Every structure is written in structure tokens, then in C-alpha cells.
Amino acid sequence: MELFLNQLPYDLLSIVIFLPLCGAFLALLTKTDLQAKIIGLITTFLNFAISLLLLYHFDPTRIGFQFVNLKEWFPLLKLRYAVGVDGISLVLVLLTALLSPICVLCSWRAIEERIKSFIFCLLLMETSMIGVFCALDFILFYLFWEGMLIPMYLLIAIWGGPKKDYASLKFFIYTLVGSVFLLVAIIALYLKEGTFFIPHLLFKGYDLQFQLWVFLAFSAAFAIKVPMFPFHTWLPAAHVEAPTAGSVFLASILLKMGAYGFLRFCFGITPQASIKMAPVILILSIIGVIYAGFLCLAQEDMKRLVAYSSVAHMGFVTYGLFTFKLWGFKGAMLQMLNHGLTTGALFLCVGILYERTHSRLILDNSGLGQRMPLFVAFLGLFCFSSFGFPGTNNFVGELFVLLGAFESNKALALFLIPGPVLGAAYMLRLLKRLVWKDGETLPLKDLNLREVIYLAPLVVGIIWIGFAPGGLISLMEPSLKVFLQAVSGG
Amino acid sequence: MGGLFLELFFFICFLILFGLSLKRKPSFRLKGIASFLSFLGFLLSLWALDKRGFFFHGLYVLDGLSQTFKVFIAFGLFLVCWMIKEEEELEGGYGGEFYAFLTLSSLGLMMVVSALEFLTLFLALELSSYSLYLILPLRRNAKQKALEGAIKYVLFGAISSGITLYGIGYYYLLTGTTKFLFLSLEKDLLGFLVFLLVFASFFFKLSLFPFHFWAPDVYEGASNSASAFIATVPKLGGLALLLRLSGLVGGGELLAKALWAFSVFSMTYGNLSALVQRDLKRLLAYSGIAHAGYFLFGVMTFKDHGRLSSAFYGLVYLIMTLGAFLTVILLSQRDENPTLEDLKGLYQRSPLLAFTLAVSAFSLVGIPPTGGFMGKLLLFISAFKEGYFTMVLIGAINTALSLFYYLNLVRLSYSQKPEIRTPIKLNFREKLLCLIFIGLNLFLGVFPSQIQNFLDISFTTSHIWEAR
């Protein structure tokens, strides 16, 4: 892909990546907890504003990486500090920047101890998440990819729920094992091509044997991160035990990295192997969608339910990607964003309830229709969006994926149909049991202004994508076509 | 002769400290003086970094390799002197001896890395070893264990020195001189044997399989600071000399195979044994044995890039191991050996200390963005380039193995409830040390090029045998 060097007088992209890091250290230096929270909020909000500037300067008609910045980093291994974004990574950067202030806001009262360290970890996460999407050097990419493991581990291990010990360990070991395979693949590519620079490694047409090995190593890492069906068991544990902000980061952004990796690296570097292995991935995706759907139907814990629904939604994403059709690609990308917004919002809702009732069981939180009407309005919208009600974002995404699926393989696509149906079943069941209840109920405090403020942007996003996804798609389409060409042409 | 000023300075330091130790009840703070002197020594070693030359008829050399490692050694000595909790750790009134012989041992190691002849080398080596023999029993508590450890160290040290001497004898037989000469080892069984025997002493210093038996007992027996020193600085000396001698060998396929085997056994044995340890210092001892195996990755490439990787990893190892030992020292109140149980809930007792341990542990595993990752990456790529594919694979599997016990340290300190709730109060010096270790570990991982510039100079000029 072509590289468009940064033409702006300042290095906008590096600012977006490293501003949270500066904020993180600033937060450590503060005197009171309130100051730390304010610094966290200001940094993340400012970063979102700056990332909008990125969107403003981004030229969607140019195909290739923009705002590219190249600097020598470690000449011995020919490492470079190389960052840049194309349409695919830009939207993910925006999503990250949008969710970060929301995560700070949602932890305002929920986190009571060691707030400075908490803000530090959150901001560190933001830097490494944005870094993953922007890195154009494989070792830099790996540094961010793994660097996020430590703050995420700490988020779960320190501020997590009762089984945090088990959950944090499982998360760490699973992800690390996957990453080791990733590293092996990176080194293998380096020895073959003598560079870690990603644009020079893309679309090279390596021989099939080599591609297959690299693909297997890559997909081990990405499938664990997504997570795909047999590798998903770390996810419910980690999601349930993590604090709300951690769950939102995990669900909305960390899971996207797996799908991003499939798209960018598996399709870009090992296209033939991807085509060869596609049936396996497709079948695993279908199993994920249906199996997770049934699991959701049986959950009594709201957070577990949302966590398993993530597995189902991400199954749609991987299915969309491995259809190798433009509809599928667009649908997968949209689904990634949608899942980020909707599932993030659902986790926030669960967090809000937990703050009030100190229970995540559906039974303990029933009858909300009377007790928290405003909250139920939001929750209702998010639940409807989650199973793809027309007019909400997931409808568009799932529709596109299904279009792609039927275009590529009609028989297999039929198995995908129960997915949205199951989604409707478990989401409506959840909604019904939460909203209605016979008998008396104790009153609960409804949403306060802070909570409305951080839920509102998600509502706007959900409805906006539901009705007018065109703008977003035109942003991503040129970049998607490049990768599509690699997997369908070669 | 200006370059030799560094060695002279350390010798003077030894004399000063030894003089101070003659007074039974010193009225001033010995620790302050020792830290100050070792800091001066560190600065001086930086000044001496670009000094070059041959001395004493070519038996002693100042070149890139030696000067770089002298900086590492001086830095290690300074950190250890600064970390120590003297009052709790040492037998009353022996502070002077402790610092004096620590300095003397470092001086010996500095001479080891500069030696270009086997007898010089041997004398320097013994100088450093004998000083350590004296330091080991100087522990306030656990007298029995300390003595046991010291005896073991002497015994194994003597045996490995004997083996090395035997090898030197053969070397003389082969070449008619004790100077270092370039030897081509193709089809030369005797040459192979010579190097294998000579290496024994350095394997001992590195606690590499099969010369590792002393390590766990010595670490357990010695005072915490003494084991911090033994775990790091002498290993760097051993590593430096392995790097120098590996440059003497041409076509040493048989030797490479032997090193391969030692490395694999060392890594696997160290990591597997560390998995079941309950004593933190014993765990670190086995971790050291495993890391000695990683060091050999670079040595057995017999190439400059491999040696550079090993040297880089040596520095990283110094930082990350000392960071872990800092936790050991600060965690134990009365110089008892901390167990894994004592780590429980460390985060609630002292967040900074827990973070230092976490960063060091992550670095020891090799998780980015720490120095351990860059070091392992360099080593693995160097070995890969020379075709040691299975070796890298075994190394990777070992890294995965080691994850369990290192991560366990972090897990215990972060997500378990503390049994003792008293917070650990850190004073300014201790906080500063924590920050230095965290900072250096991350710095080495994120800005490795700074160190590379530093090492590059040293390795491009290290072909001394060609110059002579």
C-alpha cells in the first residue's frame, strides 16, 4: 500500500497515541483523587477532540496509509517508529477515543479505592489500544499489543470482582500464549524479508507452504483475541470479574483487535492461506454464533449474558470477513463498530444497575420499569439494537454480513440465520425479566446527569449508524477494497 | 596508562573500606561511604569507556568489550551497595569487610574482562571468587544456612577452578603459550576439550548447568544483598569472558554443540525447578540458572551480532534481577528469607514495591514493553540467523514455562488478600531505587537503540587478536 507522509506541521497521529500516556503520568502526580479523575477526563476528552481533527484531515479518496510518520528506532534490527492510518484503522481509533472518556465517567463513583492507579491504567490502555491500530512496524505493533496486557491484567486483578484472581490469570495466560505465536510469525516474516515494516510485508505473494504456517500462527493469536468458538472461555470470566470500564474496553476494543488482525495481516500477508482455511473459520464462526446464543438463553447473570452475546456478535464479524465479498467486509467492519457501541453500552447499563443494587443477577434487578423508567428507556434501546432491530446499527451490520454470506455460499449462510433470532430471544427475555415484576418493588434512584451524559453519545451513534451508515462506509470502502482484491484476486 | 586509573581507583576504595573495617565500632555511616565510592567508581567507569590500549606486554587490554562490561559491573556494584539494609543484614561490625570485599570482588571481575592471558585471567578470577567466599558467611541470622552455603560455594568454586586450570595446562600443551590466540577448532578434539575445560570456571560463575548446584543453597544462605550481588555481577564477568573466548574459536562446531546442550539443559532444568519453589530467593536462583542458558544463545553463534545480543541481555538481566532482589530486600523485615506466602497482598502493603516486582517479573519473562522482551528478541533472532531453529523453539517453550512462576509472583502480590496487613513504609532512597528499576526496565525495552550505540562501539573494535 502507498504511504502518504504526514503533511501537517505537527505529528497529529503521534499526539493521539501518546497524549493519554502523558495524561497517565500526570494523573499519578496529582494530590487528590478528584484531580486524578479530572485529569483523566480532560485527557481522554481532549484526545477524542484531536482524533476528530484526524478525521477532518483524512482524505478517504486516497488509498493507503495516511499521516505516516517514520523514524529510526532500533537500527540493529531495522526497527522503525512507524505509524499511519487507513480507513480501517481510522474508524477503530475513533471508536477507542470515543469510548475512553465514557470509561472514565462510568468509573467516577464505581471505583472507590486507588483511583490514581486506576486512571493511570485506563490511560495506559488507551495509548496502547490506539497504538495497535496505528502501528506500521511489526515490533511496535507487538509492543502495543502486549503492552496492553499489563494494565488490563491490573484492572481486573486489583479492581475486579470476587473471582478476580482466577479471571485475571486466565485472561493473561490465554492472551499471552496467542501472542507468542504471533511473535513467532513476525520473526519468520522478518527472516524472510529482512524487515519489520508492515507495508513492505503486505501483498507479497509468499509461497503457499509458508503462508499456511504464518496464517496458523497469526490466527492462533487473533482467534483467541476475537474470541472464536473453542478459544472463548477466557472471555466470560474476564468480562464478569472486570470493573465496568475494564469490561467496556475488553468488549468494545480489545475484541476488535482480533478481527482487525485477521483483516490486516491474515488477508494482507497470507491471502491464499486465508482462502484455503476459510471453511474452518466459517464453521467455527457459525458454531460460535449459535452456541453462544443458546448459552445466553440460560444465563442468570446479566454480565455473563452480555459477555456471551459478544461471542455471538464476533462470530458474525469473522463470518463476514471470511466470505471474501465486499458486502461481508463492510458488514464485518460495521459490526465491529456496532458491537463496540452496543455491547459497551450494555456493560455500562449493567454497571449502573450494579452500583445501585450490588447484584448482577437478573432476579435481583427486576421490576425496573417502575423503579427506573429513564434507565429502562436507554436499556430498551440498547437491547433492541443488540439483536438487530431495524433502525438500529446492528440491523445494518447483520444485513450486510448476511448479504455477503448468501453471495458466497448459500447453504452455509442458512446456518447463520438462527443467530439474529436467538439474539432477539435472549435479549427480549432479559428485557422482559428486568422491566416487569409482580408485586412490590423498592424504589431505586434513576439515572443521574453524569450517567445520561455518557450514555447519550452511544445512543446517537447507534441510531446514526442505523439510519445513515453511508458516511462511515465511504470512509472504509477504499481500504477494504484493497484487501478484498488481495484475497479474491490472488 | 590513564585507562588503568579505574582499576586503581577500585583498589584504593578497597583499601579505604578495609581500613575503616579495622575499627570495631565505626562512628560514621559505612554504607554512605561505600555507596558514594561505588558511585564515583561508576562515573569513572563511564569516563574510562573510550579508553583503549594494551598493557603489560599485551597481557591486559582495554577494549570495547572490557570497558563496556566494566561499566555494567561498576553499575551493579553501586546498585547493590545502595540497596543493602546494613543494620538488619550483617553480623554486627562486619560492614566494613562486607563492602571492602564486595569492591575487591568487583575489581577482580574487572580484571577478568580485561585479561588476555590465562594466568592473568586465573588470578583475577580467584581474586573475585575468594572475596565472595569471605562475604557469604557474614549474615546476621540463619548462621547455619549461611555457612552451609558458603562451604558449598567454596567447594564448587575450587573444583571448577581446578578444571579450568587443567584446561589451561592443555592449552599450554597445544600452543606453547598462555596468551589468548586464535585457534581453529576444525577436527581438533584436543582444542575442543581445552575450551570445554577452561569454560568450567565461567559456567560456575554463570551458574550454568552442570555447574549450577551451588546456586539455590548459596542464595538461600547468604544475606539478601550478598545474594543480589552473586546473582548478577559475577555472572556478567563470566559472560564477558565467554564472549571474549568465543571470539578465539574458529569453526568450533563441536563446541557449539556442547554449548547448545548446556544451554538447553540449563534453561529447562532451571525453569522446571523454579516452578515448585516456595522460597523467593531459591526461585530467583533457578531463574538465574535458566537465564544462564539464554546467555549462551549469543555466545554460540560465534558472531559479533550474537555477542552483542548476549551483552545486551546481560545488562537487561542485571537490571531485572536486581529489581526482583530489591523487592526481596525490602520485603523482609529482619533479613529472613521471604517466601511466596509473604508476597500475598503486597500491592495493598506497598503499591510501588509491588509494581517494581511486577515490572521486573514481566521483564524476566520477556513481555513487552520491558527490556527483557528486547533482549530475548535480539537473542532469538541472532540464534535464528545462525540456523539454531530448534534452539529458538526450545527457548520459546521455556519462556512459556517460566511465565507461570513469574506471573505467580505478580498474581500473589496483586490479587490475593494479605496475611500481614502492616504497610511497608519506604523511605526516599528506597522509593528512588524502585523508580530507577522500573524506569530502566522500561527504558531498555522502549529505547534499546541508546544502548546499542553504546555497545556498537565496543563490538566493532573487539577484534583485538587481529590487531596484535
- Which has more confidence, B245 or A129? A129
- Kindly tell me if the per-residue pLDDT of B461 is higher than 60: no
Mean pLDDT confidence for B457-462:
54
In this complex, the residue of B358, B367, B449 whose CB is nearest that of residue A146 is B367
Cell 449459535 belongs to residue: A290
A147 and B358: CB-CB below 8 Å?
no
- B339 beta partners: B279
β-strand B249-250 against B183-184: which pairing, if any?
Answer: parallel
At residue B344, what are phi and psi to the nearest 5 degrees?
-55, 130
Contact B186, B254 (CB under 8 A): no
Q: What integer best gives the mean pLDDT of chain A?
A: 89
pLDDT digits (tens, 9 = 90+) for A37-46: 999 999 999 9
pLDDT digits (tens, 9 = 90+) for A395-411: 999 999 999 999 888 88
pLDDT at B189: 79
In this complex, the residue of A147, A169, A187 whose CB is nearest that of residue B368 is A147
Residue B378 touches chain A, beta carbons under 8 Å: yes
Residue A180 touches chain B, beta carbons under 8 Å: yes
Chain A 206-245, residues with CB within 8 Å of chain B CB atoms: none
- Which has more confidence, B188 or B177? B177
Instruction: Looking at A262-301, list the stretches that DSSP marks H as alpha helix, in order from N- to C-terminal side.
Output: 267-269, 271-297
Band of residue B467 on the pLDDT scale cut at 50, 70, 90? very low
Cα atoms in the Cβ-side hemisphere of radius 13 Å centred on B415: 24
Contact B372, B261 (CB under 8 A): no
pLDDT at B27: 54
d(CA B259, CA B232) in angstroms, rounded, equals 21
**Cα B174 to Cα B49, B180, B186, B242, B465, distances in angstroms:** 35, 12, 14, 20, 18
Cell 478517504 belongs to residue: A60
pLDDT at A334: 92
B378 and A77: CB-CB below 8 Å?
yes
Contact B78, B103 (CB under 8 A): no
Say how many domains are in chain B: 1
Nearest to B40 by CA among B129, B128, B134, B103: B103
pLDDT digits (tens, 9 = 90+) for B235-280: 999 999 888 888 777 667 788 888 899 999 999 999 999 988 889 9
Mean pLDDT confidence for A119-143:
93
One-letter identity of residue B222: A
pLDDT at B456: 64
In chain A, % of residues over pLDDT 90: 51
Q: Tell me the three cell numbers of residue B329.
A: 530486600
pLDDT at A333: 93
Question: Going by C-beta distance under 8 Å and a sequence separation of 6 or more, which residues neighbour residue A176?
Answer: A146, A149, B367, B403
If 0-12 CB within 10 Å is exposed, 13-18 middle and 19+ buried, where does residue B191 land?
Answer: buried
Band of residue B448 on the pLDDT scale cut at 50, 70, 90? confident
Band of residue B142 on the pLDDT scale cut at 50, 70, 90? low
β-strand A79-85 against A65-74: which pairing, if any?
Answer: antiparallel
Q: What integer best gives the mean pLDDT of chain B?
A: 86
pLDDT at B307: 85
Residue B65 touches chain A, beta carbons under 8 Å: no
pLDDT at A490: 45
pLDDT at A338: 92
- Which has more confidence, B218 or B53? B218
Q: Residues of A226-252 as b/e, b for ≥16 C-beta within 10 angstroms?
A: bbbbebbebbbbbbbbbbbbbbbbbbb
Chain B 223-242, residues with CB within 8 Å of chain A CB atoms: none
DSSP code per residue over B257-301: HHHHHHHHHHHHHHHHHHTT--BHHHHHHHHHHHHHHHHHHHHTT
Mean pLDDT confidence for A422-436:
90
Q: Tell me the three cell numbers of residue A117.
A: 492507579
- Kindly tell me if the per-residue pLDDT of B326 is higher than 80: yes
DSSP strands (E only) in A160-278:
none
pLDDT digits (tens, 9 = 90+) for A143-178: 999 888 889 999 999 898 888 889 998 999 888 888
pLDDT digits (tens, 9 = 90+) for A350-360: 999 898 888 88
Classify A360 as helix, strand or coil: coil
ipTM: 0.85
B396 and A157: CB-CB below 8 Å?
no
- Kindly tell me if the per-residue pLDDT of B96 is higher than 90: no
The whole domain housing B381 covers 2-467
Mean pLDDT confidence for A228-238:
89
pLDDT at A358: 87
One-letter identity of residue B9: F
d(CA B412, CA B414) in angstroms, rounded, equals 6
What predicted TM-score, i.e. pTM, was given to this entire model?
Answer: 0.90
Band of residue B30 on the pLDDT scale cut at 50, 70, 90? confident
Smallest CA–CA separation between A82 and chain B, in Å?
14
- Kindly tell me if the per-residue pLDDT of B462 is higher than 60: no
Band of residue B459 on the pLDDT scale cut at 50, 70, 90? low
Peptide bond into A418 cis (omega under 30): no
